[in-house]
Structure 1
Amino acid sequence: MQWQTILLQQHKGVGLITLNRPHALNALNNQLIIEINQALDLLEKDPTIGCMVLTGSEKAFAAGADIKEMLDLSFPQIYLDDFFSLADRIAQRRKPLIAAVSGYALGGGCELALMCDFIYCADNAKFGLPEVSLGVLPGIGGTQRLTLAIGKAKAMEMCLTARQMDAQEAEQTGLVVRVFPAEQLLAQTLQAAEKIAEKSLTAVMMIKESINRAFEVSLAEGLRFERRIFHSVFADADQKEGMRAFVDKRPAQFTSAKGHHHET
């Protein structure tokens, strides 16, 4: 593929997508969203890939959506076209997707990070949803995912005032998992991704599916779902290998993470 707005690399079972519109601080335009999805499609289909990482530059993960592209759009056309709906596919991925955020993650950039399964950030990271300053509101899930991540009061205050949140506050509120010095961010994120990629792909995807279920259904339904998924994993050879390796006191050799689809 000839990428114009991203870079794609693969190493040790990890697919790394780097946003690459430096002149626009990686602002999200239609082509960037299309190319992220095309890259994710390739990584999801590749059985050797067990985890995916999304990152930007040191200065900006993504500093918003491309305002010039939206300035003259009108309703009902954007309603009929379901503008931004392409972005929803990023959040619907089945393999784990980690965001590595350095610098600005504002507006659509913050929403893009929130679509990932968890966020690691650099100590220079700045998160914000400043859409209210443009006379609009977040439109790629910001009001929903930020609220689920950090609670109503903080989400409401950030969206209403357009205030930016620094890395330390982002970690304290649970928006990000860990903060690293900027020069260590990518290495630390890839290390975590490689650890995930070594695991059973079946188990990893089931964990993601089960945790995401907790946001959709009641506790009783969620527990029932988890239990059935747990039962089903006993049909997978990786379960036999993982438990046998534990009993034998040796490292497990998971095959689904190495590109073999096995049948029992």
Structure 2
Amino acid sequence: MNFVIETSSGVRSIAISNPAKRNSLSLEMLDDLAQALKDADGDPTVRVILLQGLPGLFSAGTDYEALDGASDYYEREERLLDAIDGLNKPLLAAVSGPAVGMAVIILLACDMVFCGEHALFSLPFSAMGLVPPHGVAERLAACCGQRFAAEKLLLSEPISAEEALRLRLVNAVFPDEAVVRETAARALRLCRLPPHAVRAAKALVCSACRSDLSQARRNALEAHRVQCRTDEASLARAAFLEGRKPDFSIEGQGS
């Protein structure tokens, strides 16, 4: 398992640890993370869950090299998001370094997110010839509004820590070396509060924010599937795996 899991004083820490692939998420890792979250939620000794990445980065997102034509990858991503959305206990995230694609979608589903000053968030779906899946457009628009969501999704521009705070994607920014410590301190604070009241408040917030998200996720997944079958998606993926930039300009397309 590419995770380091520890429990201390009521906090279950789940750390992504796949440094050889920059913590990118394989099929097995999606399933393992979903199960780890469910286990934490069902453990009476756990009150708060803390998600982080080791060492010094959160996650490069989808491990495209490990897909091998798997047809159920997006369904397994959906199951992971279902596990997150179904949590009764608060889920906090500490982000160091880059978070890309699916990793950002996971963060958007967390209750609180704290990041280091050199964290970087990226949603490069358009640049890769893909449609943003799993309701990320709705989640992003709910955080920062339609125009900023459009800017970041359509232009596929990375988001700095400072900008993430301004766009309300994160709760606070700390020095890189302090982000895990500061996030853990807030997790411990939650552990000392009345647990049923905390969970009830979380449920109310989630209900207010996710009332239409289920249908949005289904719509996004269908649009994502359709786009994945296009020539431009194939060209973009091939360029990504070969470490080069695809050319979708009018000149580059020969039009």
Report what 1:197 is aligned to: 191
- For structure 2, the 5+ residue unaligned runs are 213-255
Report what 2:62 is aligned to: 65
State the alpha-carbon separation in 1 of the partners of residues 76 and 30 from structure 2: 12
Report what 1:9 is aligned to: 6
Report what 1:43 is aligned to: 40
Q: Which of 52, 68, 77 is the matching residue for 1:84? A: 77
Paired residues of 2:33 and 2:80 also in contact (CA < 8 A): no
Q: Structure 1, residues 188-226: CA drift from partner, whole Å, max 9, x if none?
A: 1100000101111111100000111212459xxxxxxxx
> Do residues 165 (structure 1) and 162 (structure 2) align?
no
Q: Structure 1, residues 28-58: CA drift from partner, whole Å, max 9, x if none?
A: 1111111112211221111121111000135
State the alpha-carbon separation in 1 of the partners of residues 55 and 208 from structure 2: 33
User: Which secondary structure state, in structure 2, belongs to the residue aligned with residue 105 of structure 1?
Assistant: strand
Q: What pairs up with 1:202-241 in 2 under 5 angstroms? A: 202-216=196-210
Question: Which one has the largest radius of gyration?
Answer: 1
Q: Which of 118, 136, 139 is the matching residue for 2:133? A: 139
Count of residues paired in the alignment: 211
- For structure 1, the 5+ residue unaligned runs are 219-264
Taking only aligned residues, the RMSD between alpha carbons, in angstroms, comes to 1.9
State the alpha-carbon separation in 2 of the partners of residues 141 and 67 from structure 1: 20
Paired residues of 1:25 and 1:59 also in contact (CA < 8 A): no
State the alpha-carbon separation in 2 of the partners of residues 45 and 78 from structure 1: 26
Paired residues of 1:51 and 1:96 also in contact (CA < 8 A): yes
Q: CA deviation at 1:71?
A: 6.2
Paired residues of 1:129 and 1:142 also in contact (CA < 8 A): no
User: Which secondary structure state, in structure 2, belongs to the residue aligned with residue 149 of structure 1?
Assistant: helix
Report what 1:222 is aligned to: none
> Do residues 151 (structure 1) and 145 (structure 2) align?
yes
Q: CA deviation at 1:72?
A: 3.2
Paired residues of 2:15 and 2:52 also in contact (CA < 8 A): yes
Q: CA deviation at 1:108?
A: 0.6
Q: CA deviation at 1:70?
A: 3.6
State the alpha-carbon separation in 2 of the partners of residues 147 and 71 from structure 1: 32
User: Which secondary structure state, in structure 1, belongs to the residue aligned with residue 126 of structure 2?
Assistant: helix
Q: What pairs up with 1:99-114 in 2 under 5 angstroms? A: 99-114=93-108
Question: In structure 1, what residue type is equivalent to 2:154?
Answer: L
Q: TM-score, with normalisation over the residues of structure 2?
A: 0.78
Paired residues of 2:92 and 2:187 also in contact (CA < 8 A): yes
Give the share of equivalent positions with the same residue, in percent.
Answer: 29
Q: Which of 17, 20, 24 is the matching residue for 1:23? A: 20
